[in-house]
Amino acid sequence: MLLKYSLILALCLAAVAVSNAERARYDNYRVYKVTASNVKELAFLKKMEDSSDSLIFLEGVHDVNNEIEVVVAPHKLPDFLKALEDNGIDYVLIEYNLQAHLDKDDVTQIASRAGGYGWKEYYELDTTYTWLQSLPSSYPGIVTLIEGGKSYEKRSILGVKISYKNGQSQKPGIFLEAGIHAREWIAPATATYIINQLLTSENDTIADLARNYDWYIFPHANPDGYVYTHTTNRLWRKTRQPHGTCYGADPNRNWGFYWNTVGASSNECSDTYAGPNEFSELETLSLSKYIKSLEGKIQLYISFHSYSQYVLYPYGHTNELPGNVEDFDRVFNVTVAAIGQRYGTKYTGGNIYDAIYPAAGASVDWAYANVGTRMSFCLELRPGPNSIITGFRLPAAQIIPTGEETLDGLAAMINEVKTLGYFV
């Protein structure tokens, strides 16, 4: 969801042209921080954001005095700098060669494929799916393989239901969705870490979470996009369905709840393209139908994203707060405190519209409004804000610490939701 509005990567992007046999590269692409000091400058940057495939805005153009990171193609550099100077917009060069930083972890973070599944590296989709498919036989009567839908390229949106048979006819349901934005690798890695902990942890708190709730967990809500980040373009965000001359829509702007009213783009090549209509993407359409089939069974909906270390709740389309906002704030406070206890990681947040930016058509808003979920949250995981070099490429060494603190936060969140009487 939620986003650092990133990379407008059209199929025809001249300097990083890609095919099935080539990887997109960013050799000598520079990264600048730009800041609009008034409404006029902000409007100019907003116009510039959609004007050229050679300018990649990593932050959405929303507010004055807000630093925005922009990746600039080498051939576009003179015009870009002149435009900023002509309009009095402040800028700072923060990176000479983006590709050099992409190269640092491409080899090391997904290197080993021998041995069992673990959390010291990132995995390709097929490896994770093979692991998920092994769980029902490893935990018979507890794990069920579930399919939340299909993708445009005919991949399954695969997940697991974890349900211990402990005499309860129906337990409260928790739905966890991750990986809806393709390049945010830490999100699915954290989701699989939590699956493993729910099945193997000897910690009493975690064991209680596993045994007293029905869990529906989907690590990869956008499997086509995730595969594309491994084969072709590490910084790809969207789905892979063609739209006009470009590919993909933002699957976290495509849900049918105040679709495309604010915080999304109608430009087919934009990374926040909402799609030609609500649920235009097979991924969101089919997953929403699966979620709808669970209506009445899910009391808590959680979505994992990265990055910036936020805990967020509805709404994204308006600054109007949910009727139970006081309860949301209570849950928010205990969650943020719990996440920070283990490693001192600082999270902030609040309602999406005010805490981060306007963003309509997101999964958490749709689930909160349409399937009877009592509460709905988005967690933007590590690293913190303004992390251009490591933002979407969190080192694999941080997977386990991220998983640990996130599970600490979920345990506190779920306990507070229970205390408030939302689980029935």
Give the active site residues. Answer: 380
78/99 Cα distance (integer angstroms): 20
Return the structure tokens found at 94. Answer: 């923060």
Question: What are 410's strand-pairing partners?
Answer: none
Distance CA 81, CA 77 (A): 6
Q: Is 284 left (phi over 0), alpha (psi -120 to 50) or beta?
A: alpha
Buried b (16+ CB within 10 A) or exposed e, 243-260: beebbbbbbbbbbebbbb
Residues 117 and 243 sit within 8 Å (Cβ to Cβ): no
The CA distance from 216 to 414, in Å, is 15
Residue 312 backbone phi and psi in degrees, to 5: -125, 150
> E strands of 87-142, at which residues?
90-95
Whether the CB-CB separation of 310 and 385 falls below 8 Å is answered with: no
DSSP label at residue 75 = G
Q: Is 350 exposed, middle or buried (0-12, 13-18, 19+ CB in 10 A)?
A: middle
Q: Using the 8-state DSSP alphabet, how is residue 321 labeled?
A: P
Reduce the DSSP state of residue 161 to 3 states and report it.
strand
What are the start-end ranges of the H helices in 298-381?
325-343, 352-355, 363-370
CA distance 72 to 27: 11
Whole-angstrom Cα distance, residue 303 to residue 116? 27
Q: Which of 415, 1, 316 is nearest to 187 (CA)?
A: 1
* Residues 391, 4 contacting (CB under 8 angstroms): yes
Two tokens at 37? 């000091």
| Residue 127 contacts residue 113 (beta carbons within 8 Å) | yes
**Which of the 8 DSSP states describes residue 64?**
T
